[in-house]
Amino acid sequence: MGDKLRAVLRLLGLYARMDLNWVLQDFKAALIIICAEIINNLTAVSGILLLAVRFGGAGGLSTDEILLMLGFFELSDGLCYMLFGGFNVLHISRRIGRGQVDHMLIQPRPLMVQLLTEGFMPVSGSGGFLIGILLTALAWTRLHLEVTLLRLFLLLLYMLCHILLMLGQSFLLGSAAFRSPVVSEELSTLILDLNGQLGRFPLFGLPRWLLGILYTALPVGLLAYLPSLALLGRVTGAVLALPVCIAAAFMLAAACCFRAGLRRYLQYSCNRYKEMGHRR
């Protein structure tokens, strides 16, 4: 176990160095990409934030509470992309659908270790995470929220749940690409986009049945809305455990489907490439 952990940490260090090297080798391109990422993240939050500013709040939350929700979303999402965004690990259906799992199976490392490490891009992929820290800290200060152990624990726990929910949904749907590579190649992208689009919305005022769906089957409400309500002390009791339970359920289902798909892949593989090198 200790050896495995050391191997994972060594690989993470290696990928971090490669990411830094890439930035240093083509600084202009890296700068453009980092700036673009910052612009993307800022514009993604500004729509709902501007509405909240204009109308003194939105969806049952005040402007500062909306800021906290958006900050939490950027923080967790940014961390998720920083850890798993590289080499399409998060968009796993692309790797599977394009027949690139072959490339992974010939590496002298377990598949799990590769998936845990090769998406790490702490330099070029940190824009969203840094903006998330800034927005969360700003909202935290403006709301005069007390820093307690419980609150910090909830913050870290819900960040972990956010990452697991994203990974779980992406791998669960993405496993379909083992069976139908062309049709399912972009399924992970679709579900991640849906999470990115709806996860930033406050869900106050929705009918109960719809809230039920958005807290379970399509858990966009657990990405930022419910966690921010918990951080604000607006929800208590068993509801606090909902993100943990749903994240665990998605990860379990994803692991089962991914394993079953991989077994099939080991039998049939996937031939998507033309002689010229581009995909069919």
Partner 1 sequence: MKHFRAWSATARMCLKEKSYFGLANIIAQYLLRAAGLGALLMIWRSLFMQGVDMQGLSLNQVYVYTILSTVLAPMLDVRTPASGWLHDGSVLKLYLRPRSLFAQLAAHTVGGWVLPLAILSLPVLVIALLCGVDLRPASLWFLPSLVLTVSLGFAVDYLFACLLIRLRNLEWVVHDMRQSLTALFTGSVIPFAALPWGIGRFLALTPLGSLAGGPLSIYAGLAEPMTVLAAQLFWNVVLWPLALWRFTSMRERMVSYGG
Q: Segment near partner 1 (CB under 8 A), from 12-20, 150-158, 177-185, 230-238?
A: 177-185
Which one of 19, 48, 67, 178 is in contact with partner 1 (CB under 8 A)? 48
d(CA 130, CA 37): 11
Q: Segment near partner 1 (CB under 8 A), from 27-35, 67-75, 149-157, 226-234?
A: 27-35
- Angstrom CA distances, 91 to 5, 52, 109, 162, 263, stand at 24, 32, 20, 16, 20
Which alpha helices (H) appear in 175-232, and where do they start and end?
A: 181-184, 187-198, 208-215, 225-231
Sign of CA dihedral 239, 241, 244, 245: negative
CB 60 within 8 A of CB 204: yes
Q: Does 217 bind partner 1 (CB under 8 A)?
A: no
Minimum distance of partner 1 from residue 257's CB (angstroms): 16
Q: Segment near partner 1 (CB under 8 A), from 8-16, 47-55, 130-138, 163-171?
A: 47-55
Q: Segment near partner 1 (CB under 8 A), from 70-78, 113-121, 182-190, 243-251?
A: 182-190
Q: Does 39 bind partner 1 (CB under 8 A)?
A: yes
Q: Does 193 bind partner 1 (CB under 8 A)?
A: yes
CB 38 within 8 A of CB 127: yes
d(CA 196, CA 166): 10
Binding residue count for partner 1, defined by CB under 8 A: 44
Token reading at 12:
């993470």
Q: Does 54 bind partner 1 (CB under 8 A)?
A: yes
Q: Among residues 59 and 122, whose Cβ is nearest to partner 1? A: 59
Q: Does 23 bind partner 1 (CB under 8 A)?
A: no
Amino acid identity, residue 175? S
Q: Does 239 bind partner 1 (CB under 8 A)?
A: no
d(CA 40, CA 51): 18
CB 132 within 8 A of CB 78: yes
Give contact residues for partner 1 (rule: CB under 8 A).
29, 32-33, 36-37, 39-40, 43-44, 46-48, 50-51, 53-60, 180, 182-187, 190, 193-194, 197-198, 201-206, 276-279
